[in-house]
Chains A and B, each alone.
Chain A
Amino acid sequence: MINRKEITLNMGPQHPSTHGVLRVILELDGEKVIKAEPVVGYLHTGIEQQMESKLYYHAIPCTDRMDYLAPMSNNLGYCLAVEKLLDIEIPEKVKWARVILAELTRIKSHLVWLGTHALDLGAMSMLLYTFRERETIVDVYEACGGQRMMTSYIRFGGLAHDLPVDFDKKVRHVLEQVPKGMSDYEKLLTKNEIFIQRTRNVAVISADDAINYSLSGPMLRGSGIKHDIRKANPYTGYENFDFDIPVGKNGDAYDRYLLRLEEIRQSMRIIEQALDGMPEGPYRAHVPGVVLPPKEDILYKMESMIFHFKIITEGFKPPVGTVYMPIESPKGELGFHVSSDGTNKPHRVRVRPPSFINLQALPKLVEGRLLSDVVCAIGTVDIVLGEVDR
């Protein structure tokens, strides 16, 4: 007689395919998943509370540490939220530079996702190829902010420094290299029978469920809903660019794979337009007392020196109120609630983390499926545990 018994299996938090420290408690009937419960919080570092205890300016480096695969998007989201609170105008050149950097970040994040997702599903070599192209983007980061990962390059009212002299050349090098890599990935994966078997009709979510679970980004678009904040509520000058929003049909992991590849192509389209039409101008807005004066002035002008010193030590005091600023980060809708009580420190900074909210649909994706699909489902959500736990 066969003894049928449900067993409880603990997956993670130290499992290589959970992309960090995610724990999933699975109840299994044979190989079938009956119930899945994600447990998060192993990487909780209290970033929201840290940001409350710092001046507005000093909280920017905290944002890099949340989604460490897309640091520029996080910088951008926080800076836009504070700029909205302060209600200041941004120079055109800064807007265009920010668009280029945000789109480079999208490509970079999607490349890491592609490499790790394919690695989970057994295509080991993909990681090596995607990191080859990612390296060119990290070089641009290094030229801009001096850092390869935690850049903190985008600041209130502008950028930390002017764009490097060879910025154009370096970004065009990325635009040359990434399509070459893309053709490699497509050859390796798109018609790969094993990859299709592991991803097609796996981790399916319908359009209604996707909306009901508040999913965003590729998870929402994969189910066929054409929603992108860059088009819906354009920020930092996205209305000037011509690009398409790819959508999936079936809402499965394979659709989301094709969708993210298409997003990389659309990002390259945006970058190309932005490079061609890059306006001239200052790299920081001129708002005394709030935005740091240009670095060159600090060395020669007394007033600039004083302003620089006062902004760094005392900070600025925005008007009382709460703003919410959403942006389309590579993983979905990244929103920053910044609340001011009239002092020089934020009263509360709340992040709407896209991967945290996308992750709560994981039980929906895997229940009733096989155990091996759990790995695919975690990969296709595209989580970064630094952002989930904060």
Chain B
Amino acid sequence: MENRKKVKEFIKSEFTDAIVKEDSFRDQDIFYIKPDSIFEICQAIYENDDLEMNYLTEITALDWLGHEKESDGRFEVIYVLYSLKYHNYLFLKVHLSESKPIVKSITSIFAGANWMEREAFDLMGIVFEGHPNLKKIVTADELEGHPLRKDFRKKYEVPVFSWNKDDPPEVIN
């Protein structure tokens, strides 16, 4: 509990300009961060021996298509950091615009970020700058696009058969 406060104060004092919003939902400490400073924040937390937050639990991405106004930017990348000593989680969130879904890779800090970033790139189309091997990981090589984007299914082809050749069905999203 004390360490949670310490982490929050550390981010608030060291990176005042980088914080867009501070939030808490269901007992989770959430910070919304500007995309340019996520690398520096992760590095500072990792290198701070006092906080003992050196475990990257997870990186994932969300698509808020249709909710851009509330969330200021279409894509959201979530970084979950964890302290193996004090057992507290920290959620860092970054909002990225539709035209420029680019964020700096943190693979040089956490080796475990490699596949997590590749998966976010593959399924959601977030580009991680400086990633050593940013290529598709789970989907087929032939597949174009990023399947977890909310507008992906519009490209879904409805099969045309002899019985619906003249009257093809509407595309259902």
Contact-residue bracket for chain A: 35 or more
On chain A, the residues within 8 Å of B6 by CB distance are: none
Name the one of A209, A321, A359, A389 contacting B26, with C-beta atoms under 8 angstroms: A321
Question: Is B137's beta carbon under 8 Å from chain A?
Answer: yes
Cross-chain contact B26 with A323 (CB below 8 angstroms):
yes
Question: Is B97's beta carbon under 8 Å from chain A?
Answer: no
Cross-chain contact B28 with A40 (CB below 8 angstroms):
no
Cross-chain contact B57 with A214 (CB below 8 angstroms):
yes
Chain A nearest CB: distance from B109 CB in Å?
Answer: 9
State the CA gap A140–B58 with chains docked (Å). 34
Cross-chain contact B110 with A214 (CB below 8 angstroms):
yes
Cross-chain contact B138 with A44 (CB below 8 angstroms):
yes
Question: Is B51's beta carbon under 8 Å from chain A?
Answer: no
Contact-residue bracket for chain B: 35 or more
On chain A, the residues within 8 Å of B110 by CB distance are: 212, 214
State the CA gap A360–B133 with chains docked (Å). 13
State the CA gap A347–B28 with chains docked (Å). 19
State the CA gap A52–B67 with chains docked (Å). 16
Question: Is A344's beta carbon under 8 Å from chain B?
Answer: no
On chain B, the residues within 8 Å of A211 by CB distance are: 54-55, 84
Interface majority SS (helix, strand, loop, mixed), chain A? mixed
Residues of B with Cβ closer than 8 Å to A?
A: 25-26, 28, 54-58, 60, 62-64, 67, 78, 80, 84, 87, 89, 91, 110-116, 119, 123, 136-140, 147-148
27 A-B pairs in the complex with CB atoms less than 8 angstroms apart: A44-B138, A44-B140, A48-B123, A48-B148, A49-B147, A49-B148, A52-B148, A84-B26, A211-B54, A212-B110, A213-B111, A214-B56, A214-B112, A214-B113, A232-B87, A233-B87, A321-B25, A324-B28, A324-B91, A326-B57, A333-B57, A339-B62, A350-B62, A352-B57, A356-B119, A357-B58, A360-B112
Cβ-closest 10 pairs across A and B? A214-B112, A232-B87, A41-B138, A360-B115, A44-B138, A350-B60, A213-B112, A321-B25, A352-B58, A212-B111
Could you list 8 further interchain pairs (A-B, Cβ under 8 angstroms) beyond the known A212-B112, A214-B116?
A41-B140, A233-B87, A321-B26, A323-B28, A337-B78, A348-B62, A350-B60, A357-B115
Residues of A with Cβ closer than 8 Å to B?
A: 40-41, 44, 46, 48-49, 52, 84-85, 87, 209, 211-215, 225, 227, 232-233, 321-324, 326, 333, 335, 337, 339, 341, 347-348, 350, 352, 356-357, 359-360, 389-390
